[in-house]
Every structure is written in C-alpha cells, then in structure tokens.
Structure 1
Amino acid sequence: MEATFFLMGVDGGGTGTRVVLADAHGVELAQAEGGGSGLALGVARAWQAIEAACAQAFAAAGLQLDWARCALGCGLAGVNNRDWLADFVARAPKLAALDVQSDAYTTLLGAHGGEAGVIVAVGTGSIAAVLDRDGACRIAGGYGFPSGDEASGAWLGLRAVVHVQQALDGRARPDAFSDALLARMSVCDRDALVVWLCEANQTAYAGLAPVVLAHRDHPVAAALLAQAGADIAQLVDALDSSARLPIALCGGLAAPLAEYVPASHRTRLRPPLADSAHGALELARRALARTKP
C-alpha cells in the first residue's frame, strides 16, 4: 500500500512559529502556532518550537504526527548564519523531505505567488528580498540584531529604551511614553533597568514596539517611526532601482508601519497574496516532488 505523505510549511521567527499542514495534493488541513524558532534563539529551541507546533497542527486535523511521512519546508530567521543552518539540518528528524530557506524567501514566494516583486518583512527582525523577472532572488538587510534589522520590532525597542535611560537619570523629562516603557519592562528604577538590559534579547526588545506605536505622537516615537519608514524605502531601492516592481510589506509590523513608508513608495504597496508559512508549504511540495522518480 502506497504511503500517505503530508506537506508542512513552517514560518519561524524570533517571536513565534506558524505552521500550515496540507495533504500531498496541497489541500490545507490545519494551522498551528508556537513559540519562536528563529535560529538566533538556539537550534535546539528552534526544533522544540517547530515540533510542538507541528504536533499541534496534526492534532487539530485529527491525525498522528509521523515525521517519516512529512515533507517539511521551513522559512526561518537566522539561516544566513551557515553554522546555525548546518546544525539545524543535522538535528532534523527522519523526514520524507526537507528544504530550509530564509524566511525572506518563503515570504517572497507567498506574497507574490512566485511572480516578480519585492517584499520587506518587518516583525521581530527585518529583511527585504526581491524576485526579479528572471526568477533570481536577492536580499537586502537581514544582518540581524542588534546592528541590523532596521524598522523591526527589536530595532524600535532598542532605540526606545534610550528614552527610558535618559528619563531615569535626568537627561530627559519623564513622561507617559517613558512610564509606559518602564511598565512594559516591569522596571521601576535605574538598578532594575540595568538588570533588564543585561538580560534582554531580541525578543524582549521587540516586545517594546507596541508601546512605541501606542505613543506615536510622542516626538521620540514619531522620529523612530519616520526613520523606520525611510529605512523600508531604502531597502526597496537597493533591490529595485527601476522602481517598477510591486512591494508587499509583510510581518507583524506591516500594517502599522505602512503609513510611514514615503509616498513615493507607498503607491506601489500591494497586500501579500499569502504569508510566509504558505510560501514554506510550497517549498515542502517541491522538496517532496524531488524525492519521487
């Protein structure tokens, strides 16, 4: 009797993991979500989050997870670090097929349905990618926290913390914005803030982004959001100097940051056709097809 195979698309970032389960024909059966699986969090932790979300998706479909019958397509933050990627692949369970690409590539596949276009993914981190009319993929940004990931949640949070620091030591006047940031960090004084800063990772800083958005009229927050919009435009220009391709903003910060994209680029914004998890599902379909004679 011929084995029944399943396709699984995984979108893994620093904050969360999304999984789409489909049958071998691409008919969607279930979706699930879990903790972060960006490789910067650690490869073992990434697999733990992915396995939990996959098991949840199978349970939702009333099925039992059997890795040997699964083709897994993963779009993960952090695969541009070749050592992390090699470790991730080495730790994989015995699968029917596996393809691991950057979350930028799977976002690109989903957003434009495999057609030419630009994406800027802004969530915990950020990256931009283009699929040109010749089918070639190029990337801009995505160098990672803390030096890169412009316009991301972590980028916003890292810079917003400066306002808190200055409010605590008298360089700036304490206000509703600094108070809200302190509350989000569960911090009340300088010593506690130092402890928070020493322990904070990319995900912790990204957790401050909603506070920035909630205080968008504050001069500091407004300046950060304006810079985020300008950085998005710069990423697009690096990939599409002709200024002709459609742009899809993707990720958790796509909707709130769209209004800060300069007008010259805003007219080219298009809603993504599908998300990164569905782009990863296409990776899984292709990977499974390659295993068959």
Structure 2
Amino acid sequence: MSHSAFKIGVDGGGTKTELILVDATSTVVARHLAPGCNPSQTGPDQAREILRAGLQALLAAYPVSGLPPSVSALHLYMAGSPLFWREVADSLTGYGPVVTGPDSLPVLELATAGAPGLVLHAGTGSFVAARAPGGSVHYAGGLGWKLGDAGSGFDLGRRAIAYALLELQARSATETRPLSPLTAALQAHTGLPDYATHSRFFYNDPAANATISAFAPRVLELAEHDCGPAQQVVADSVTDLARLADQVIHRLFPADPQPSRAGISYPPPLPCGVSGRILNSVPAGFALRSLVAKLRWPVTLTFITAAPSEGVRRLLGKL
C-alpha cells in the first residue's frame, strides 16, 4: 500500500482528544487517546501542545516497522474557537491539506450519514447540529458553562446543587428531618455539611467547576432510582436543550403548509441522532422521548452509542 494513502482524523473535545490513522480502505490502523484540548478550558498553548504531541504519538503507534507513514490529509474536528483551530491548522506541515470543523460534525455524520436531519448531543458540553435539505450545516448551543449548555454534565450538576443548597438554606440548625436523597448525595460528594460551607466552596474554590460537573453521574443515578428531585433536574435540563432543537427544526425543516392528499404519502421522518453519555442515560432518554412526542417532531430518534471517532472515520472516507 502506498504510504501516501494514509489520513488522520482528530476528535478534540473538552474531556478527551482521540486521534485515528486510517488507510486507503478507511480502516483504522492506529489510534491515540489524549487529554481534552478545548482551548477555552486548557488555554491555547496547552491545547496546541496536546494536538502536536498527539499527532506525533499517533504516527509512532503505527504498527509497521520502518519510517512513519506519509499522510495525505488531516481533519481536525475540535471544540472551542474555530478561528484558533484554523490558525493552528495553518501552522501544521507534513500532513497534507488540513481541514478544520467543529466537533459536532462527526456526531452529525453518525446521526444522518450526510442526509438532512439533526443530532442532539449532551456530555461534557451540549449542542444541536443539523444538516438542512440543501446540505448546509447549522449549529446551535454549545455556549459553554458560563452562558448555558442545557443538558450537559455541568448543567445537570449546577441545577441539582442549586436544589440541594436551597434545601440546606431553609433547614434550621435543630431540624432532624432527613434530607432528600439528592441533598444527602451532595454532602457525600463534597464532604461539606451545610449551606454556608457549600456556598463558600462553590464561589471561591478553583476546583468548584470540576466538582459541579462530576456530580452529574450521581444525579442521573438517583433519577434512575426514582428520586423525584433528581428526575425533575434531568427533565428541566433536557427540556431546555429540546427547546433549542425545536427552534432548529422549525427553522430548517418547516412543515408543508399543504395537507397530504389521498394516495400521496407523507414525507419520511427526519433522522435525529441522540449522542453523549447524558442523553443516552435512562432518565434523560425517557425525558427526551416524552418531549419529542409532546412537541410532535417529525423525526425518528436514534440513540448513538458509537464513539465520535467513528464519525471522523466516516468523514475521512468521503475524501
């Protein structure tokens, strides 16, 4: 096989960066996993270094002795500033043409395989991505924790902690009535006893944001075991993400104003992918299905369990 047939794809998110090397048949022949490289979280210098080191490690992992493979193309699908990643791409040499795009494109590819449709993603962050009937790609959400990432791990943790702090705030020093399971879980998560100590921690400790996001799996676990407050937190967070998706659907896929006539079938439903560890959980999936029915979306839900790197591989295969 010609060494020029190799291509590299990168899925760079806030939690991890996955790099794959594929051959001319789109088979993954080497893979490397690195830390998250969102420049908004790591800083631009660290993000750039994570990518640089990851590319070197990927080529070194190619399981054939001799010189590393010659790469004919590099695709970067990255979280964070598109302008930053374009500047990084322009500085890279030896990889052939370097294409950049948002980290939403691989999961959109998994959801629609290039056809019109959309995907809802919620993991570390969240977004809605859609491909319109004309082929244009649209992105909504993903504003980050400061400005709102409905459905994300941070959003779940933030909402749950707010509920628990209100319960602790209203509790008198002598009250002996048991706390809700959600508030008790927060105390176990932080090791802090009351409202005042929690408030100081979340507003002053540098580790507060990570602690908020890390509470999300426990919230999902409680919701799955019939904890009412946790279920409400999940429903509220997913509802806000669904509202965003509803706006995208109505803007890009407006309903046909003409009623169907006898003998003419309705257009097929749109593919709608559901991606990320949050939305693929039982309580979040239940909430989303209920909202889809209530809002009457013209979609077929597909819960995506494949890694985003599989979407990267498929995009590389279209070169």
Question: Would the TM-score normalized by the shorter structure come out above 0.5?
Answer: yes
* Aligned length, in residue pairs: 285
Name 1:72's counterpart in structure 2: 74
Task: Identify the match of residue 280 of structure 1 among 293, 301, 312.
Answer: 312
Are 1:146 and 1:155, in contact at CA under 8 Å, matched by a contact in 2? Answer: no
Which position in structure 2 is the counterpart of 1:140?
Answer: 140
Change (3 A) 1:181 1:248: same
Change (3 A) 1:79 1:124: same
Could you tell me how far apart the structure 1 residues matched to 2:88 and 2:238 are? 33
Q: Which runs of 5+ in 2 are unaligned?
A: 173-177, 256-268, 294-298
In structure 1, the residue corresponding to 2:85 is in which secondary structure? helix
Give 1:10-21 correspondences, 5 Å limit. Answer: 10-21=10-21
Return the offset for 1:224.
1.4
Moved more, 97-106 or 200-209: 200-209
Q: Distance in 2 between matches of 1:48 and 1:66?
A: 20
1:205 equivalenced with 2:232 (yes/no): no
Runs of 4+ with deviation above 6 angstroms: none
The one-letter code of the counterpart of 1:278 is E
Choose between structure 1 and 2 for higher RCO, CA contacts under 8 A separated by at least 6 residues: 1
- Quote the residue 2:96 is aligned against: 96
Which stretch shows the higher mean deviation, 217-226 or 153-162? 217-226
- CA 1:271–1:226 in 2, change beyond 3 Å: closer, same or farther? closer
TM-score, normalised to structure 2, is 0.75
Aligned ranges 1:219-258 → 2 under 5 Å? 219-241=228-250, 242=254, 244-256=269-281, 257-258=284-285
Look up the match of 1:270: 302
> Identical aligned pairs, as a percentage?
26
Aligned counterparts of 2:191 and 2:50: Cα–Cα separation in 1: 26
C-alpha displacement of 1:163: 3.1
Check if 1:180 corresponds to 2:181. no
Output the CA distance in 2 between the equivalents of 1:133 and 1:282. 20
Report Cα offsets for 1:168-201 as digits up to 9, x if no partner.
4445974432232243345456446624543147
Alpha carbons of 1:107 and 1:203: their partners in 2 closer, same or farther (altered >3 Å)?
A: farther
Unpaired runs of 5+ in structure 1? none
State the one-letter code of the partner of 2:119. Answer: I
Whether the 8 Å contact between 1:124 and 1:203 is mirrored in structure 2 is no
1:17–1:195 Cα change, 3 Å: same
Cα contact 2:20–2:32 (8 A) shared by 1: yes
1:215 alignment partner in structure 2: 222
Instruction: Confirm or deny: 8 A CA contact 1:18 1:277 kept in the other structure.
Output: yes
Separation in 2 of the partners of 1:281 and 1:132? 22
Partner SS, residue 148 of structure 1: coil
Deviation (angstroms), 1:249: 0.5
Which residue of the partner structure matches residue 49 of structure 1? 50
Give the AA of the match of 1:231.
D
